[in-house]
Amino acid sequence: MQYPIYLDYSSTTPVDPRVSEKMVECLTLEGNFGNPASRSHLLGWKAEEAVETARRQVADLINCDPREVVWTSGATEADNLALKGVAHFYSKKGKHIITSKIEHKAVLDSCRQLEREGFEVTYLDPDKNGLTTPSAVADAIREDTILVSLMHVNNEIGVINDIEAIGQLTREKGVLFHVDAAQSTGKIDIDLEKMQVDLMSMTAHKTYGPKGIGALYVRRKPRVRIEPQIHGGGHERGMRSGTLPTHQIVGMGEAYRIAKEEMQDESTRILALRNRLLDGFSDMEEVYVNGDIDHRIAGNLNISFNFVEGESLMMALRDLAVSSGSACTSASLEPSYVLRAIGLNDELAHSSLRMTIGRFTTAEEVDHAIGKIHEAVAKLRELSPLWDMYKDGVDLDQVQWAAH
Partner 1 sequence: MAYSDKVLDHYENPRNVGKLDDDDASVGTGMVGAPACGDVMRLQIKVDDNGVIEDAKFKTYGCGSAIASSSLLTEWVKGRSLDEATEIKNKDIADELGLPPVKIHCSVLAEDAIKAAIADVKSKRSNEKASA
Flag whether 28 is marked binding.
Answer: no
Q: How far is the CB of 377 from partner 1 (least distance, A)?
A: 12
In whole angstroms, the minimum distance from the beta carbon of 394 to partner 1 comes to 11
* Residue 12 assigned to a binding site: no
List CB contacts of 242: < 8 A, sequence separation 6 or more: 230, 232, 233, 235
- Taking the complex as a whole, the smallest distance from the CB of residue 281 to partner 1 amounts, in Å, to 19
Residue 42 or 331 with smaller CB distance to partner 1: 331
Closest to partner 1 by CB, 39 vs 404, is 404
Distances (CA, A) of 352 to 212, 287, 365: 29, 10, 20
Nearest to partner 1 of 180, 309 (CB atom) = 309
Q: Which is nearer to partner 1, 118 or 385 (CB)?
A: 385
**3 state SS of 375:** helix
Residues 6+ apart with CB under 8 A from 91: 119, 146
Residues 188, 206 contacting (CB under 8 angstroms): no
Cβ 154 to partner 1, closest distance in Å?
Answer: 22
- Is 204 annotated in a binding site? The answer is yes
Shortest Cβ 344–partner 1 spacing (Å): 11
How far apart are alpha carbons 105 and 74 in whole angstroms?
14
The whole-angstrom separation of Cα 327 and Cα 294 is 27
Q: Between 218 and 317, name the residue whose CB sits nearer to partner 1.
A: 317
Which residues are CB-contacts of 198 (< 8 A; sequence separation ≥ 6)?
170, 176, 177, 178, 218, 219, 224
Catalytic pick from 26, 64, 111, 328? 328
Residues near 251 by beta carbon (within 8 Å), at least 6 away in sequence: 15, 19, 20, 22, 23, 204, 209, 210, 213
The angle subtended at Cα 370 by Cα 209 and Cα 343, nearest 5°, is 75
Q: Which residues bind partner 1 (CB under 8 A)?
A: 307-309, 311-312, 315, 326-328, 333, 335, 345-347, 350, 382-388, 396, 401-404
Q: Check: CB of residue 161 under 8 Å from CB of residue 150.
A: yes
222 prior amide bond cis, ω within 30: yes
Instruction: Establish whether 80 is an annotated binding residue.
Output: no
356 is in an annotated binding site: no
Q: Which residues pair with 216 in a beta bridge?
A: 70, 201
203 annotated to bind ligand: yes
Residue 328 is a catalytic residue: yes
Give binding residues as ranges.
75-76, 155, 183, 203-205, 243, 328
Give binding residues for [2Fe-2S] cluster as ranges.
328
Give binding residues for pyridoxal 5'-phosphate as ranges.
75-76, 155, 183, 203-205, 243
Q: Catalytic positions, please? A: 328
